[in-house]
Amino acid sequence: MTLLTATLNAIGTCALITAALSMLTASEPSTAQTAPSGKLLVYVGGYTKGKAKGIFIFSMNPKTGALTAIGTGPDVENASFLAIHPNHKYLYAVNETQNFEGKSSGSVSSYSIDPSTGGLTFINEKASGGADPCHLTIDSSGKCVIVANYTGGSTEVLPIGDDGSLGDPSCFVQHTGNSVDTARQEAPHAHSAIIDPTGKYVMVCDLGTDHIVVYKFDRASGAIDASGLVPGTVAPGSGPRHLVFHQDGKHLFVINEMKSTVTAFNYDSSTGSMSAYQTISTLPAGYNGSTTCAEIALSADGKFLYGSNRGHDSIAIYAVSAVDRKLTLVGIEPTGGKVPRNFAIDPSGKYLIAANQQTNNLVVFKRDAHSGKLTPTGATTAVTAPVSVVYLQQK
């Protein structure tokens, strides 16, 4: 395999924000029926298609996996990726747009979560620093949000206040570079940002450069710095999109959108370095249709890996070797809809919800813990252009 040799130069200005965090006036809370104590809540973000609502709230039946609509969040445009604060009090959403406050930028919104209903109340909104933010993650201490801007080709860090509000950016880094596909890789396209298990590094999948950019991460200041670090690399034209770390902290898996593959890496947490040891297709042998990959997820026991195909409209299922962490394809399950941009395994590991963007539906699958395979439960729910699924277990 010929590796791309061009090195991505990340140029950015990072500064610790010392001013007090500002907070916008809270909007009216979302409409939400009371959710019984102990319920598993499901928040679904979607593209609004000109409609007002962008976040939908459900409860999930632990015995059947069926979803019951509870309500919707406040009006928000294109909430294409969601994340819940470690204290379970706040939810954050990217607003995947190309203009915010007159600048070429999307935004990130913060919401408080009503502990009795699961309803959302808007707190504030900050610019993401680049157009079309498509992914965000929250550090384990709950002190900051890291957002990846797709069209902007950049990464930004936003501090989180004690009240859940977002502050002005503590760091912004503009990616540079390109790769071999002149149509889709003409410029950098940051597609996700994940903090490694040690909390010392941030890994950004850049579809436009075929790199997994590694940043040093200073949690105290909210600064990220790529100087002196070598990015991980996938085959030219692969388009890395999302990644997930294995529970052992020594391996990670990257799903490649454009080539419909998964690349497995060894990972050295002492240096942030990574080396590829396997690339495997997400598709059945002989398939030649138009398709791209989207989400990747690992079972809580680390035994099975899942990746979604948009076009083939399926989820690829792999067994993860306990010896060397190599992947073996064990099945490919249709998602019961078109363009499964996102999916998520519930906290119990019993169910998986596939979000089919083009057919506007959520499909629930039963997950076999021994084989990793998926079986439709028959539960299907209509949602406008669903593209992000997160869970919250109520106390």
- Lookup result for tokens 């040690």: 198
Average pLDDT, the chain: 91
Share of the chain above pLDDT 90, in %: 88
How many Cβ atoms are within 10 Å of 209's Cβ, its own excluded?
A: 27
Type of residue numbered 43: Y
The whole-number average pLDDT for the span 16-20 is: 33
In terms of Cα–Cα distance, which of 209, 208, 289, 292 is closest to 257? 292
Q: What is the pLDDT of residues 79-113, one digit of tens each?
A: 999 999 999 999 999 999 999 999 999 999 999 99
Residue 144 and residue 135 in contact, taking contact as beta carbons nearer than 8 Å: no
pTM of this structure: 0.91
- What are the structural domain ranges in the chain? 40-393
How far is 113 from 92, CA to CA, in rounded Å? 10
Q: What is the pLDDT of residues 208-257, one digit of tens each?
A: 999 999 999 999 999 999 999 999 999 999 999 999 999 999 999 999 99
Q: What is the pLDDT of residues 331-367, one digit of tens each?
A: 999 999 999 999 999 999 999 999 999 999 999 999 9
The whole-number average pLDDT for the span 13-38 is: 43
Q: In CATH, what number does 40-393 get?
A: 2.130.10.10
Q: How many CA atoms lie within 13 A of 46 on its CB side?
A: 32
pLDDT of residue 9: 42
pLDDT of residue 30: 56
- Lookup result for tokens 């979803």: 67
Q: 334 burial class (0-12, 13-18, 19+ CB within 10 angstroms)? A: middle
pLDDT of residue 368: 98
Type of residue numbered 157: V
